[in-house]
Structure formats: structure tokens, C-alpha cells
Amino acid sequence: MEELLSVKNLSINFDTFKGQLQALRDVSFNLKKGEILAVAGESGCGKSVLLKSIMKLLPENARVNCGQIRLKGADITSYGEREMQKLRGRQLSIIFQEPATALNPTLSIGKQIEEAVRLHNPHMKKREAYQRVMELMALVEIDNPKQWYDLYPCHFSGGMLQRCVIAMALSCSPEILLADEPTTALDLTNQAQILTLLRSLQKKYGMAIIFVSHDLGAVAEIADRIAVMYAGKIIEIGTTKEIIQDPRHPYTWGLLRSLPSYAKPGEKLYTIPGMPPDQADLPKGDAFAGRNEYALRIDYEEMPPMFRITDTHYAATWLLDQRAPEVANPVAENREALQLEKNQTSGRKEKERFGEWGCKEKEEQKEEVPYKQEILLDVRHLTCRFHVGKKVVIPAVSDVSFQIGRGEIFGLVGESGSGKSTVARCIMNICQPQEGKILYQDVEIQNKHMLRGGFRKLASLRQMVFQDSTSSLNQRMKIADIITEPLVVSRKKIQPESLRAEAEFWIKHVGLEASYLDKYPFQLSGGQRQRVAIARALIMEPELLIADEPVSALDASVQAQILNLFKYLQKEHGFTFLFISHDLSVVRYLCDRVGVMYRGRLAETASCEEIFEAPQHPYTRKLLSAIPVLKHS
């Protein structure tokens, strides 16, 4: 197959006040026509920097230390802005990680997509450009595109915004598409549609894709090959089957073991010990040695080379050296244990269903068990509509009712635009519903007379983690001030040194070093910003935490750490959670009960076990069938 892109020994440093930060270290790979290469790894490992270096969109403090980037045989490493503008759009195109910040909030969505179309086709007539926009919006599964053409980004859900960004990237049918977390904000059904769409476009146009994601399920669904990155370096690369079924690097083992699908019911999720090293001060030898429970003495002294396993599979670990001791693959062992547990559970259920002697027993009608737990939040017949102009009315939520008990984790799932975030915003008094009641501890929170000036106290009892971490953080404030801001706003009498100590405590709780407190949000990766947002919400130790896609931007290991933290806060401190997510494997592990939203209505509510084992609504069954499965064998 024709080679479209070749990256050889690419090393990129950033000039910082601490010195040279090694963002990429000796990165090499090839991309062939029609191939999909996935890049996986923790936040801050260099995945986005790699894509931006290919597009020549790096900040001014970036320096190409060494290496080459060749596009269709031409060396573009030293290309300037004018030369790159000729390549962007037609040969190279990118889908950015944060759709909300990638779009102009003052322009309608239709105008922005049209702008991308006409930029590379300046002589195209306005009617032709409009028709092309309609085609692109339909291509990315936006229903009734004429209705959405004149609406602004603020009127779209996170998943809808992501699809608009994908439409813009596809406007000129590029030869290579760089996709930076393109399915992060999408629910399972839409994620499956986008993955299918990208696959079909790749086959139809022979387009090559570099697909950056922390979602190993999505990666396994779409990729031909997978490259695993750690601390700016590719540490393992191979075909999807080789990486998922037969990983060889201890870091890849850790990523796979961190997935909720690898955990037994009731057990804590596995987390990779420690934290990634500071790339401005990397240790001698292997950068992963300090977190590697299988590390050898040589790992602390010398960086391992890429060992060849097959013609397509390579890994940089001293465990593959002939002199290294033999170590059993923990992923394979864990997989066998889970399969045994699954078989035993299946046997028990079959026995319960058919009885001791194999005769099918008469199924008894289940009685509805009343919900006896103390009710903390009671949502009754909630209806919320958005008015756009004088004529357009968008029904966001219609007649939604549910209750959340004290100390319970209630999951809310559904496709993008189904009303999940609107429900959360109504509960937090950000949106004003037209009908219905919301009672918190039997007090109607929409009624200002009932609250009697207790809004500040109510705010301290409820906190929210927003879906888009970038727009929810003040870019001009340091991380320490962002995390402690709720304490200051609530007028708690705390000394400045105590504020710093609180910030250090909670930032370590979410898996970041105290050194991050002196940074600004723009200096952090998407996953790191999300952890800061979680720390800011937790510092108030609220009774109710509303988490809107809190782990969607996090890699597998950090996601496991946050989910373990949520479980701990529920068990030890009695925290109550409204957990909104499109990742059903996470919901199954974490939640006690689940509500399924569909087109603004609550289609089904039941215990987590009942939802996953015996779903009643057709839409719930459709959601469950869309869960990406890692093919272990």
C-alpha cells in the first residue's frame, strides 16, 4: 500500500520556565493509504502534540529538536504557515478535542461549516455551498439540518457540537484525517455511528486516519494498528489484535487492567501506581520504571530499545530481553479469572431459573418494592423548553420524574441531546424549567420565597462537574485559585496557608502533583483540566455531587482512580451522586440505580442490575447492544 505519512525520530521540546519540556521523544511510525492508526495513552503523554506537530499548529515555544515529517514523500518538517495552508483541508485535516472551544460562539453552526467549505472553494456559489453544508450535516447524522443551520453552538449538546466539528473537518475530503478524541463527547449509539461513518469514509475515499483516543473500546472497534504512548514516547505498537489480545509492555497491561470490564463486581478497579514523570525532568533509564511493578534494575539505568515480537509488533521493555526473567502476563490471567467467574455466575442463574432438577419453575410476578431510602432529591414532572427567536421552540426535557436517596449513586444515560445535561442544570438552578418541581430535602429549590435567602448555603451543599472542562475553568486563574475558589465564594473563614493545603490535598486525590497548582488551565491537557474541575467540586465536600460526563476525557487508569474515589466518598462520607455518562461500562460498575433518557423523556428507571440484565424499553436494549467490546480472543 502507498505510504502517505512517515514520521521518523521526531523529538519536540517546549521552552518553559523550568527548562526544556520533552513533549515528544524519538517518535517514529508510518501511515499507509486507507489505514487507521490509533494512538492511546494517558493525558499529557504527547498524543495531541503529535497531531499538532503534523499540522504545524504548535505554540511559539515549541522546538523541533530532531526528526522528520514526510507527507507523500515531501519533507514538511520546516514548512512555514503559507505552505501549510495549501496542505490543510485537502491533504491534512484535524478534528480537535474540545468542540466547544473549536467553534466560534458568535456565528451560527451552518455559517461556520459553510466557511470551511468556501475557504478552499472561493468560487463556489452561495447556493452550492449551502447544499454542501446540508450534505455534511446529514453525513454526520444531524437530523433535519435545515432546523439547526441558523442555531449557535450554545444551543447544541456536547455530542452535537462534536459532530459539527467532524463535518467541518470532512468539508474538503482530506487524504489524511487527524482525529483528536473525536468520540469523547458522544453517547454509545452516536459513537458507534461516528466510528462506522469514519470507517465507511476511509473505505470509500481511501482516506488514512490517525485516531487519538483514551477509549480502548472505541480504539479496538476502528483501528487497524495501535500505538501506545507514555511520557512522549511510543512504547508499544502493533496490530489491534496483537495489542488487545497479547500486550507485552507493563504499561499496556496496566491500561487494560484499569477498564471496568476487567473488574469483578464489588472490587476496586486496578490503577497504575504513582503518576507520570515530569517531562521537564525525566528520570534516567525507562520513564515508566518508577510505576512499573515488574521493573528490573536495568530499567533505572538504561532506556530500553524497541524489541521485535513479530513483523508488526514491537515493544520497548527490558522484559523482552533474552536475559530477563519470565513474567506471566497479568492481563491474560485476569481474563481467565473473569471468564471463570462469568461461567459460574451463569450457572447459578440457570440453576435459579430452572430449579434443582432442571425443570423450569413457574415465574412469579415481581412485586414493586417501594423505595425506602431517605430521599435527598425529588424531581417531579420536570419540563424545560428553550425558545430561539420568536417562533422556534426546542423541547429539551418533558415530564421527567425521579428520586435520589441519600448516599446513592444514580446514573443518567442516553444519547446526546436527550436532555441529561438540561436536567442537571435545572437541578443546579442554572436553567429555569417551565413546569414541574425540584425538591432538595423537601424544600422546593425553584421557589425563591421557600429558600428565604439560603442560596449560598444551598450552593455549598450541591456541586457540579461540567462536561466541558476548558470552558468551565477561568483561563486567567492559577489552578490553586480555581480549586479553592468555592471556599472563598462561600465566605468560609480559612487562612491563606490553609487554602493552599486544601488545594494540595484534593489535587493529589484526583491524581495530580502539587506542582500543577502554580500552572494555568491552558498549560494542562484535557484530562488534567477535567481532574482540576473534579477537585474544585469536591473541595466543598457537598452532600450532592452532579457529575456531567466527569470521566469522559480521562484515560483508563485515571478514570479508574476517579471511580474508586467516587466509591470511597459514597461509602465513607455518604456522598450522593447524580452521575451522567454515556459509558455504560462505567455506569454498570459505579451506579446503584439507572435512568435512561430518550428524546427528553425518562424511558426507563431501574436498579443497575435490572437495566443490564433485563432491560424493558427497546431504546435501552439498543444502547446496550452498542457497547464496544474488547475482543479478548
Task: Give 101-137 as a 3 state SS string.
Answer: HHCCCCCCHHHHHHHHHHHCCCCCCHHHHHHHHHHHH
pLDDT tens digits for 594-615?
Answer: 999 998 899 999 999 899 888 9
- Strands of 208-212's sheet in order across: 92-95, 176-180, 208-212, 36-41, 225-230, 233-239, 314-315, 307-308
- Mean pLDDT, the chain, integer: 85
pLDDT, average across residues 298-321: 96
How many CA atoms are closer than 13 Å to the CA of 471, on its beta-carbon side? 15
Reported as a pLDDT band with limits 50, 70 and 90, residue 67 is: very high
State how far the Cα of 152 lies from the Cα of 449, in Å rounded to an integer.
34
φ, ψ for residue 102, nearest 5 deg: -80, -15
Distant-in-sequence, close-in-space partners of 155: CB < 8 Å, separation ≥ 6: 386, 388, 394
State how far the Cα of 510 lies from the Cα of 205, in Å rounded to an integer.
43
Helix (H) or strand (E) holding 197: helix 188-205
Nearest partner of 204 among 196, 212, 214, 216, judged by Cα: 196
pLDDT, average across residues 529-538: 89
pLDDT, average across residues 367-382: 72
CA distances for 208 relative to 35, 63, 175, 200, 202, angstroms: 5, 27, 6, 12, 6
State how far the Cα of 453 lies from the Cα of 439, in Å rounded to an integer.
16
State how far the Cα of 29 lies from the Cα of 7, in Å rounded to an integer.
5
State how far the Cα of 349 lies from the Cα of 354, in Å rounded to an integer.
9
- 366 has pLDDT over 60: no
pLDDT at residue 369, rounded to an integer: 38
Cβ atoms within 10 A of the Cβ of 359, count? 7
Nearest partner of 54 among 203, 166, 199, 177, judged by Cα: 177
- 358 has pLDDT over 60: no
Reported as a pLDDT band with limits 50, 70 and 90, residue 504 is: very high
- 125 has pLDDT over 60: yes
Strand ranges, E, within 187-243? 208-212, 225-230, 233-239
DSSP 169-185: HTTT--SEEEEESTTTT
70 or 89, which is more confident? 70
Crossing angle for the helix pair 479-489 and 526-538, nearest 10 degrees? 20
For residue 241, is it left (φ>0), alpha (ψ between -120 and 50) or beta?
Answer: alpha
CATH level 3 topology of 376-625: Rossmann fold (3.40.50)
pLDDT at residue 96, rounded to an integer: 84
- 408 has pLDDT over 80: yes
State how far the Cα of 458 lies from the Cα of 440, in Å rounded to an integer.
9
Residue 218 and residue 8 in contact, taking contact as beta carbons nearer than 8 Å: no
Q: Sign (positive/negative) of CA torsion 146, 151, 155, 158?
A: positive
Only one residue has cell 441558523, namely 150
Return the SS3 of 319.
Answer: helix
CA distances for 283 relative to 173, 276, 280, 500, angstroms: 43, 11, 10, 28
pLDDT, average across residues 296-310: 95
